[in-house]
Copies of this chain bind each other. A is one copy, B any other.
Amino acid sequence: MQLLMLKGDIKDRIEKIRKFYLRNKRMPSYSEAASLFGFRSKNAAYKLIGKLKDLGLVSSDEKGKLLPGDLNNPVKLLGSISAGFPSPAEEELQDTMSLDEYLINNPTSTYLLKVEGDSMIDAGIHPGDLVLVDKSVVPKTGDIVIAQVDDEWTLKYFEKKGRAVYLRPANKKYPLIKPKQELIIGGVVIANVRKYK
């Protein structure tokens, strides 16, 4: 009974740290954490956070400064759908991750583009979707690339047969493109993102 109360307290404290991080885009110092928790003494916060460290809930760097760990990773990971959907109650021991970190390998060469047109709809890329394009990736057969065709940029499957290169739309309505001369590739699509709400 008291153990549950304790856990609730801890969750509360962590939630406060999380909100501080959301507000200030950095982790609190110990004195800031103290006033966050309503303590008079920053040492109270120091000891409390020491306990959270033991539990693996927060961590700090070599300078003692608190690190935003899984705490602040925005999404909680569940298993796959058919594996059973955990109930809302059991919110402990969940893995978390950041979509940014998951999707993007090369931040400096990756761009976000809004898709217009339905030439890739059979590949599950719809108009209005956002595609992540990495300019530093060399396209291979089967990759989806953004290429310049007739002074327009479009999404196509990239296909290489010997020396010849083709661009194949993922929509039967459109023809295979055999570039006559120049073929400018803007980058390789490394991810597709669709927002519903």
Residues in A lying within 8 Å of B, measured CB to CB: 15, 18, 22, 24-27, 61, 65, 67-68, 74-82, 84-85, 88, 97-105, 107-108, 110-117, 121, 124-126, 129, 132-135, 137, 143-144, 146, 148, 152-155, 186, 188-197
**Complex contact B117–A67 (CB within 8 A):** no
| Contacts known (A80-B113, A126-B124); A195 close to B103, Cβ less than 8 A | yes
**Complex contact A80–B116 (CB within 8 A):** yes
Q: How many copies of this chain are found per oligomer?
A: 2
Cα A190 to Cα B197 in complex, Å, equals 5
Q: Which residues on B sit within 8 Å (CB–CB) of A105?
A: 197
Q: Separation in Å of the A144 CB from the closest CB of chain B?
A: 7
Q: Which residues on B sit within 8 Å (CB–CB) of A110?
A: 74-76
Q: Which 7 A-B pairs have the closest CB atoms?
A: A80-B114, A124-B124, A85-B153, A74-B100, A190-B197, A192-B194, A75-B112
Chain A contact residues: helix, strand, loop or mixed = mixed
Q: Separation in Å of the A58 CB from the closest CB of chain B?
A: 12
Q: Separation in Å of the A131 CB from the closest CB of chain B?
A: 8
Q: Which residues on B sit within 8 Å (CB–CB) of A75?
A: 100, 104, 107, 110-112, 132
Cα A162 to Cα B116 in complex, Å, equals 36
Q: Which of B101, B107, B193 contacts A191 (CB 8 A)?
A: B193
Cα A38 to Cα B44 in complex, Å, equals 38
Cα A120 to Cα B82 in complex, Å, equals 14
Cα A50 to Cα B108 in complex, Å, equals 24
Cα A104 to Cα B100 in complex, Å, equals 12
Cα A115 to Cα B79 in complex, Å, equals 9
